[in-house]
Amino acid sequence: MKPRILITNDDGIHSEGIAALESAMNEIGEVFVVAPESEMSGASHSLTLGRPLRIRQIDEHHWTVDGTPTDCVTLAVNRILANGKLPDICVSGINHGANLGDDATYSGTVAGAMEATILGVPGLAFSLVATRSHDFTESARIAADVTRKALAEGIPEWTLLNVNVPKGTPKGIRVTRQGFKEAKPVISEHIDPRGKPYYWIGEVREGFRAAGGTDFEAIDEGYVSITPMRTDLTNHGALEGMKNWEN
Amino acid sequence: MKPRILITNDDGIHSEGIAALESAMNEIGEVFVVAPESEMSGASHSLTLGRPLRIRQIDEHHWTVDGTPTDCVTLAVNRILANGKLPDICVSGINHGANLGDDATYSGTVAGAMEATILGVPGLAFSLVATRSHDFTESARIAADVTRKALAEGIPEWTLLNVNVPKGTPKGIRVTRQGFKEAKPVISEHIDPRGKPYYWIGEVREGFRAAGGTDFEAIDEGYVSITPMRTDLTNHGALEGMKNWEN
């Protein structure tokens, strides 16, 4: 039996990254693409609760949703694919741009994999660390390798894998921890045609501590970074020291 | 010097919960309210990158933003309050409804505190575990106590506190870990006036494992739950066992 592979992303169904990921996954199993109609970068793990959602079926294997990556995965698992067998794995991406350090917490790509994990489907997020290059060849190859390994060996419980692939040909793979970004966001002020100010939050890719063992360090040195991430946000190490907060 | 307290939420600036929180914080320090113009439930840690944002100043201490709680906090810290001293603490809420277990990952309330933490400002998120009751008296009192303690003693580094307050009078405070929700989301299908289907993702509050030491258990037993949460999503315990993924 071919594995059933759910594909989503946050750049939208028409992006080059999801096409590259789908091509790679077609070699491995039966794919089901459920992706946002339009770009959803920065969507994080947001779920659309305040308005209805539309599902548009394109063909037997492709659907769009006018919502976030999290909406796509919950609709895929609980509705679109709910009559058949659940997917064996969910892959999200390939994002055009890095999801490293704290930025992972804003990422719709990572959130797609997180939602799958919460729903009991192993989740993998793939990102290409590039701003100009749109060459997804190497990142699609890495996505195929990592997905094959995850299907064969499984991944840790309640854990998704956040995979970032550097530009060019990677030197190898490193298992990493989430690093820290040092850059502040750039908020630019502009004036609209009516003379009123508006603000735009800029994405900052530069400025990080390439501390030992982090995702930033691996990418900086030309390696693929795989960070296992939990859906349990608890700082378990802090529980004991906070006993004096109880009463 | 009075502490400077940044207040945000995800139910919007006109909600009862933020009014109750502001009253409580006025007893402790100088407050700056920067909150979403409208309800943003389920916004998670999403950041608005694809469109500009408007900031509307209401008076010397109140601003609205047409975006998410994360937008509010980053604009507050990096723009609105950037000319003066940074806030000493950021409090988010009081959310009308629980943010327990996995639901914390979807929460705009929790995300407001998370964004503050990432920007170096200690962050606290407050939620009232109630669907019908709008009585914020006890939760506002708890918010004041917890904020005073956090200001006096500090909180663990890179950690926010996710505080949930049960209905009625709490029996006390428990420091907890994030629990697991067992309920599946309910996705309802409806037909629009043109005969086309649309879908609505329902919030499910019921169904959880009240496992020992979890937020669910504390609330179930009538206690306030304080869960320390990290902005570092790494599953550190899984790093060693994944060494064979490297090459």
- Do residues B225 and B218 touch, judged by C-beta distance below 8 A? yes
- Do residues B31 and B89 touch, judged by C-beta distance below 8 A? no
Q: Which of residues 68 through 127 in chain B touch A, CB cutoff 8 A?
A: 68, 70-71, 74-75, 78-79, 102, 104-106, 108, 111, 114, 118-119
Helix, coil or strand: residue A64: strand
Is the pLDDT at A171 greater than 90? The verdict is yes
Q: Can you list the alpha helix ranges (DSSP code H) found in chain B?
A: 16-26, 69-75, 108-118, 137-153, 215-220, 236-239
Is the pLDDT at B205 greater than 70? The verdict is no
Mean pLDDT over each residue of chain B, to the nearest integer: 93
Q: Which of A77, A153, A232 to mutate to test the interface with B (most CBs of B within 10 A)?
A: A232
Q: Kindly report, residue by residue over A106-130, the tens digit of the pLDDT.
A: 999 999 999 999 999 999 999 999 9
Q: Kindly report, residue by residue over A122-168, the tens digit of the pLDDT.
A: 999 999 999 888 899 999 999 999 999 999 999 999 999 999 999 99
Q: Kindly report, residue by residue over B57-90, the tens digit of the pLDDT.
A: 999 999 999 999 999 999 999 999 987 788 999 9
- Do residues A22 and A93 touch, judged by C-beta distance below 8 A? no
Q: What average pLDDT does range A27-49 have in this prediction?
A: 91
Q: Tell me, what's the ipTM?
A: 0.92
Give B-chain residues touching A11 at CB under 8 angstroms: none
Mind telling me how many Å the CA of A233 is from chain B's nearest CA?
5
Q: Kindly report, residue by residue over B143-201, the tens digit of the pLDDT.
A: 999 999 999 999 999 999 999 999 999 999 999 999 988 777 889 999 999 999 999 99
Give A-chain residues touching B196 at CB under 8 angstroms: 54
Contact A46 B46 (CB under 8 A): yes
Mind telling me how many Å the CA of A234 is from chain B's nearest CA?
4
Give B-chain residues touching A238 at CB under 8 angstroms: 156, 159, 228
Contact A41 B48 (CB under 8 A): no
Helices then strands (H, E): number in chain B? 6, 13
Cα B139 to Cα B246: distance, rounded to the nearest angstrom:
48
Closest Cβ–Cβ partner in A70, A197, A235 for B159: A235
Contact B75 A184 (CB under 8 A): no
In angstroms, the Cα distances linking A161 to A90, A233, B113 are 11, 15, 25
Is the pLDDT at A204 greater than 70? The verdict is no
Q: Can you list the alpha helix ranges (DSSP code H) found in chain A?
A: 16-26, 69-75, 108-118, 137-153, 215-220, 236-239
Confidence grade of residue A207 (pLDDT, cut at 50, 70, 90)? low
Q: Which of residues 13 through 42 in chain B touch A, CB cutoff 8 A?
A: 39, 41-42
Contact A226 B245 (CB under 8 A): yes
Helix, coil or strand: residue B26: helix
How many residues are present in chain A? 247
Domains of chain A: 4-179+210-231 (3.40.1210.10)
Bridging pattern class, strands A180-181 and B180-181: unpaired
Q: What angle do CA B179, B184, B186 make, to 5 degrees?
A: 135
- Kindly state the DSSP code that residue B114 receives in the 8-state scheme: H
Contact B239 A43 (CB under 8 A): no
Mind telling me how many Å the CA of A92 is from chain B's nearest CA?
17
